[in-house]
Amino acid sequence: MAAVAAVAAPIVLAAPSHADPDTDFANQLHTFGIYGPRDYNAWIGKITCKRLATGLDKDTYASAKFILTNLPLDSTQGQAIQFLGAAIATYCPDQVGVLQRAAVQ
């Protein structure tokens, strides 16, 4: 719970700096050691936002589980949460409450 706050807070507060959000997202993921096709990762980020918006994923942990199943096999849960924070910051900042609720649990 505190780990979620420590991992996610700096990500959500960082604003993308370029006109291409997919490139900014890929660059952010690289700082977490998450690599892969830029378009694929952007697609997963956007789907994650849609899953949150529709209520398919009810919380940070459900979203992280979805993300982890779509990242390379050696990825960690921490990386999945970092991915989630970057996806929310880039594609659906209105979903920041998902991370905030996890931080106080």
pLDDT tens-digit series, residues 30-43: 999 999 999 999 99
pLDDT tens-digit series, residues 4-20: 655 555 555 555 555 79
Q: For residue 62, is pLDDT > 70?
A: yes
> So where are the chain's domains?
2-104
What is residue 19's predicted lDDT score, i.e. its pLDDT? 78
DSSP 16-40: P-SS-HHHHHHHHHHHTT--S-HHH
Task: Say which DSSP state 73 is in.
Answer: T
Report CA torsion sign: 78, 70, 75, 65: positive
* Phi-psi label, residue 55: left if phi above 0, alpha if psi -120 to 50, beta otherwise: left
Q: For residue 104, is pLDDT > 70?
A: yes
Q: CA 98 to CA 42: how far, in whole Å?
A: 19
